[in-house]
């Protein structure tokens, strides 16, 4: 099987031959046959529905959920690539944690003060003395060439996607298990046990047997499937703030009065203000911990992103092992002129944007979008960053006619820096053919991500 590729394709060599690590997979696919493979893919999709791996369509007036969009040709990551990602991302997570501690102790001088103070995610006030700011870190990385990875974004507020990654793996093992036979693929299910251990270490220091709860906005949250799965597998409570109350300076579960020592928050901070404002005082007094800590979102600010390599050098005394995607800050006059001159070549992002919101991909945008972006940036240059439009790696999708199509991919990695762990896998996000935007809201999909053990 051969296809002609335009970019660095992880499956096919430049001449169109299947790369060595994918050859056993494609031999298995040929034995299965296109008709049988299509039938199994349909069954795998139904398995996702059975597991509850669905999410609401934001533009659907009836609020219908759809099955998590998955492509069933897996991504294969060699063992040595995992080692590159593990060391580089743990280094990055540790440096960001050190910077956040300094920031909230009033001692940081790595990031310009005007960037910090203008961030919508910054909050005044210290962290609890014992608190590690980030226990769960979900960076997005791209591969540019063999063993060459770069970081696209840091995600530390409420990193999501691990349960979707696991659901795709469960569906694939059940329906397409014979594809795994030629390989030794790292299991990903151990992530939950390590996550629970990391959450337990976040408890206030005088607590011997901490009670940990996943706290969510409830079933109306688009990621509630993940919240419930995390609570189920970690064997911890699943609550909303309405299920909690503050009594005598402690947070308790209304149902049985049990004191809650660690809140694994799956919500943005405004939820506390509206539903349980007393919680913040208990948190600041050190009687309950919140993971990830309140205020860590400033590290998600895209204007802070360019300074992470400097954090690594300052706090760890090391050279960054993974590079950033080159990023320009229009708030700086010289860089603003460059962005305006090259707007049709760059990717413009709002500083606080998430999930592709407000994204303008210059080479893919029409004239109207570019002019609107130019006007918005000229009016509020400090609200944006611009990143280089990179030819990152591609994979393959099965098109409607069963022919293979080339599509860009990135990887959401799940890192637990407080305990030194990275999940051997992740959530490979796939763009629709013809675009580099991998978000599912833009028509993207997901793949099972195999990390090889040898």
CATH number for the domain harbouring residue 342: 3.30.1490.270
Question: What is the pLDDT, as a whole number, of residue 355?
Answer: 61
Residue 183: inside a domain: no
* CA–CA gap between residue 415 and residue 420 (Å, rounded): 8
Residue 161: inside a domain: no
Helix 34-51 to helix 162-175 angle (10° resolution) is 130
* CA–CA gap between residue 411 and residue 26 (Å, rounded): 22
Residue 375: inside a domain: yes
**Tokens matching residue 1:** 């099987």
Residue 236: inside a domain: no
Question: What is the pLDDT, as a whole number, of residue 337?
Answer: 92
**Tokens matching residue 217:** 């906005």
* Total tally of structural domains belonging to the chain: 1
Residue 246 buriedness (CB in 10 A; 0-12 / 13-18 / 19+): middle
Residue 379 buriedness (CB in 10 A; 0-12 / 13-18 / 19+): exposed
Number of H helices, E strands in the chain: 12, 22
Q: What are phi and psi of 83, to 5 degrees?
A: -65, -40
* CA–CA gap between residue 132 and residue 100 (Å, rounded): 9
3-state helix, strand, coil in the chain (%, to 5): 40, 20, 40
Which distant-in-sequence residues (6+ apart) come within 8 Å of 15 by Cβ? none
Beta bridge partners of 262: 212, 289
Sign of the Cα pseudo-torsion (6, 7, 11, 17, in order): positive
Question: What is the pLDDT, as a whole number, of residue 453?
Answer: 95
* CA–CA gap between residue 75 and residue 87 (Å, rounded): 21
Question: What is the pLDDT, as a whole number, of residue 13?
Answer: 92
pTM of the model: 0.94
Q: What is the DSSP letter of 137?
A: B
Stated as kind and residue range, the H or E segment containing 101 is helix 79-104
Are 138 and 160 contacting, i.e. CB atoms less than 8 angstroms apart?
A: yes
Q: What are the pLDDT tens digits along the chain (454 aa)?
A: 556 778 999 999 988 899 999 999 999 999 999 999 999 999 999 999 999 998 765 555 445 677 889 999 999 999 999 999 999 999 999 999 999 999 999 999 999 999 999 999 999 878 888 889 999 999 999 999 999 999 999 999 999 999 999 999 999 999 999 999 999 999 999 999 999 999 999 999 989 999 999 999 999 998 999 999 999 999 999 999 999 999 999 999 999 999 999 999 999 999 999 999 999 999 999 999 999 999 999 999 999 999 999 999 999 999 999 999 999 999 888 899 999 999 999 999 999 877 667 889 999 999 999 999 999 999 999 999 999 999 999 999 986 667 889 999 999 999 999 999 999 999 999 999 888 988 776 678 999 999 999 9
Which distant-in-sequence residues (6+ apart) come within 8 Å of 254 by Cβ? 243, 244, 245
Question: What is the pLDDT, as a whole number, of residue 348?
Answer: 94
Residue 254: inside a domain: no
What is the largest distance, in Å, between two alpha-carbon atoms of the chain? 70
* CA–CA gap between residue 276 and residue 269 (Å, rounded): 11
Output the CA–CA distances (angstroms, integers) from residue 421 to 198, 414, 416, 450, in the order listed. Answer: 10, 9, 5, 17
Residue 401: inside a domain: no
Residue 262: inside a domain: no
Q: Are strands 70-77 and 445-451 parallel, antiparallel or unpaired?
A: parallel
Q: Which domain holds residue 353?
A: 326-388
Residue 380: inside a domain: yes
Question: What is the pLDDT, as a whole number, of residue 57?
Answer: 57
Question: What is the pLDDT, as a whole number, of residue 82?
Answer: 95
Residue 411 buriedness (CB in 10 A; 0-12 / 13-18 / 19+): buried
């Amino acid at each position: 099987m051969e296809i002609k590729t335009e970019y660095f394709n992880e499956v096919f060599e430049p001449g169109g031959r299947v790369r060595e690590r994918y050859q056993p997979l494609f031999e298995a696919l040929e034995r299965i046959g296109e008709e049988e493979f299509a039938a199994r893919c349909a069954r795998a999709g139904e398995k996702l529905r059975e597991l509850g791996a669905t999410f609401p369509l934001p533009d659907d007036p009836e609020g219908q959920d759809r099955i998590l969009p998955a492509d069933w040709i897996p991504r294969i990551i060699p063992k040595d690539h995992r080692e590159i990602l593990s060391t580089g991302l743990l280094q990055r997570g540790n440096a960001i944690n050190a910077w956040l501690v300094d920031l909230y102790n009033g001692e940081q001088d790595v990031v310009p003060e005007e960037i910090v103070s203008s961030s919508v995610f910054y909050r005044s006030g210290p962290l609890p003395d014992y608190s590690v700011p980030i226990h769960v870190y979900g960076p997005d990385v791209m591969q540019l060439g063999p063993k060459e990875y770069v970081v696209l974004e840091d995600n530390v507020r409420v990193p999501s996607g691990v349960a979707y990654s696991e659901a795709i793996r469960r569906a694939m093992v059940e329906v397409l298990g014979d594809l795994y036979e030629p390989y030794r693929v790292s299991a990903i299910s151990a992530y939950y046990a390590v996550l629970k251990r990391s959450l337990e270490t976040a408890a206030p220091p005088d607590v011997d047997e901490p009670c940990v709860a996943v706290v969510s906005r409830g079933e109306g949250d688009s990621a509630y499937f993940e919240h419930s799965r995390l609570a189920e597998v970690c064997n911890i409570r699943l609550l909303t703030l309405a299920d909690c109350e503050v009594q005598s300076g402690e947070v308790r579960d209304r149902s049985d009065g049990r004191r809650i020592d660690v809140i694994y928050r799956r919500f943005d901070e405004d939820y506390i203000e509206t539903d349980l404002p007393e919680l913040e005082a208990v948190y600041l007094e050190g009687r309950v911990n919140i993971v990830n800590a309140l205020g860590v979102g400033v590290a998600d600010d895209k204007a802070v992103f360019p300074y992470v390599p400097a954090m690594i050098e300052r706090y760890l005394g090391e050279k960054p092992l993974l590079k950033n995607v080159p990023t320009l800050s229009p708030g700086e006059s010289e860089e603003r002129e460059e962005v305006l001159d090259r707007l049709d070549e760059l990717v413009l992002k709002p500083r606080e944007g998430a999930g592709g919101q407000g994204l303008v991909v210059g080479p893919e945008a029409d004239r109207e979008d570019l002019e609107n972006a130019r006007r918005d940036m000229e009016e509020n240059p400090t609200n944006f960053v611009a990143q280089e439009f990179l030819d990152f790696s591609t994979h393959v999708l099965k098109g409607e006619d069963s022919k293979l199509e080339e599509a860009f991919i990135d990887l959401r990695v799940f890192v637990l820096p407080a305990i030194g762990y990275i999940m051997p896998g992740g959530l490979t996000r796939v763009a629709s053919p013809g675009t580099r935007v991998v978000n599912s809201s833009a028509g993207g999909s997901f793949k099972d991500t195999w990390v090889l053990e040898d």
